[in-house]
Amino acid sequence: MHTTLEIILPAHNEHGNVIPIYDEIKQALAITEYDYTILFVDDGSTDETLGQIKDLAKIDNKVKYIELSRNFGHQNAIKAGLDASDADVIIMMDCDLQHPPHLINELLKQYELGYDIVRTHRIENETAGYFKRKTSNLFYKILNQLSDITLEQGSADFRLISGKAIEQLKSFNEFDLFYRGLIKWMGFKQISLQYHPEERFTGQTKYTYKKMISFGLNGFTSFSTKPLYFAAYLGLVFSISSILYIPYIIHAFYTGTEVQGWASVIATVVFFGGVNLMILGIIGIYISKLFSQSKNRPHYIVKESNL
C-alpha cells in the first residue's frame, strides 16, 4: 500500500502562478512513488485563479480544490485544506513559487528518515528588501524572548507533517491561528531545513506591512502572557517612582515655594497617559482574542469543492 501525500496550496489572486507551480510540483514528484494529490484552497480570489484550478482539475484527477466563500486569510485557508485532507503525509506551501517545489523531495527524504514534522526556514537575500529583512529578524528575536517556543529566523509556512502530528494539528481550534508556533509547540520528532526563497513568479505579495504587524502581534499573544506581566511591572515601577516625589511636595508646601514650569507638568502627564494607553492596549489585545474565541464562529466557509 502506497503512502498517500497531499500538497496543500492556499491561493488568493494567484492566477499567474497556478499553472507554473502545478507544473513544477508535477516535475518534482515525477520521480516519487507516493500516491499524491494537489489540493488548491481558493481563498476568495477575485481574478481567474479558481477558473484555472478547475481547468487543471478537468485534465488531471490528482488536482483537487476547495473554494472558500470569501477571503478568510492565509492561516484559515491552510486549516481548510488540513481539515479536508485524509492523507498520510501533508506538505503545505505557498502558491507564489517562493517556496521552491524542488525542495519537496528533500522534505520527503527527511520524513523517510523518521521525522514526523519537517519545517523550513528561509535564508534572507538582498531581494527581500532591507526594511523587511530587519523587521523579520526583529520579530523572531522578540518572539523567542517573550514566548515559550523558539523559532528559527525566517521560519516559513512551507512544511511537511505526518501521522499523529496531523491528527493533533487538526484538533486545534483557536480562532487566531499561528501555525509556525503551533507546529513547533506540538513536539514530535522535528527538523528544520533552510532554503533560499525564489522570486515571486507573478503578482504582488499579499503581506502588506499592516498585515505583517497584525501577524506579529498574533504570534506574540498566542504563545506568551509576558506582555501582560510587563504591563503590570511597568505600572508597579512608576507607582513606586511616584512616591519619591512626596518629599518634594512636602518641602514646597512648608517653604511656600512657587511651582514653576507648566510645560514639564504637561509633558509628564502626557508621558504617563501614553504609558496607561499602552498598558490598556496590551490588555485589550488579549481581551479581544477571548471575545473572538467565545463567539465560536467557523474559521472558514466552503462554497464549492471537488473532493
At 76 the three-state DSSP class reads: helix
CATH superfamily of 4-223+298-305: Spore Coat Polysaccharide Biosynthesis Protein SpsA; Chain A (3.90.550.10)
What CA dihedral angle connects 188, 169, 212 and 207, to 10 degrees?
Answer: 110
Using CA atoms, how far residue 145 sits from 70, 84, 183, 226, in Å, is: 36, 35, 18, 9
Give the closest residue to 9 by CA, choosing from 69, 110, 80.
Answer: 80
Residues 29 and 300: their CA atoms lie apart, in Å, by 30
Residue 177: pLDDT band by 50, 70, 90 thresholds? confident
Question: Per-residue pLDDT tens for 39-69?
Answer: 999 988 888 889 899 999 899 999 999 999 9
Residues 22 and 40: their CA atoms lie apart, in Å, by 10
Question: Per-residue pLDDT tens for 152-171?
Answer: 777 788 899 998 889 888 88
Asked if 116 and 165 count as a contact pair (C-beta separation under 8 A), the reply is yes
At 17 the three-state DSSP class reads: coil
* Number of residues assigned to the chain: 307
Using CA atoms, how far residue 77 sits from 40, 73, 94, 157, 222, in Å, is: 10, 6, 11, 12, 19
pLDDT (0 to 100) of residue 113 = 92
pLDDT (0 to 100) of residue 255 = 62
Q: Please tell me whether the overall predicted TM-score, pTM, comes out greater than 0.85 for this model.
A: no
Residues 56 and 15: their CA atoms lie apart, in Å, by 12
| Lowest-pLDDT range of 39-43, 197-201, 287-291 | 197-201
Phi-psi region of 188 (alpha: psi -120 to 50; beta: other; left: phi over 0): left
Residues 74 and 111: their CA atoms lie apart, in Å, by 25
Residue 270: pLDDT band by 50, 70, 90 thresholds? low
pLDDT at 307 over 70: yes
pLDDT (0 to 100) of residue 89 = 92
pLDDT at 8 over 90: yes
pLDDT at 183 over 80: yes
Residue scoring higher pLDDT (96 or 140): 96
Average pLDDT of the residues of the chain: 77
Which residues are bridge partners to 155 per DSSP?
A: 121
pLDDT at 251 over 90: no
pLDDT at 91 over 90: yes
Q: Give the percent of the chain with pLDDT over 70.
A: 60
34: cell is 507516493
pLDDT (0 to 100) of residue 99 = 87
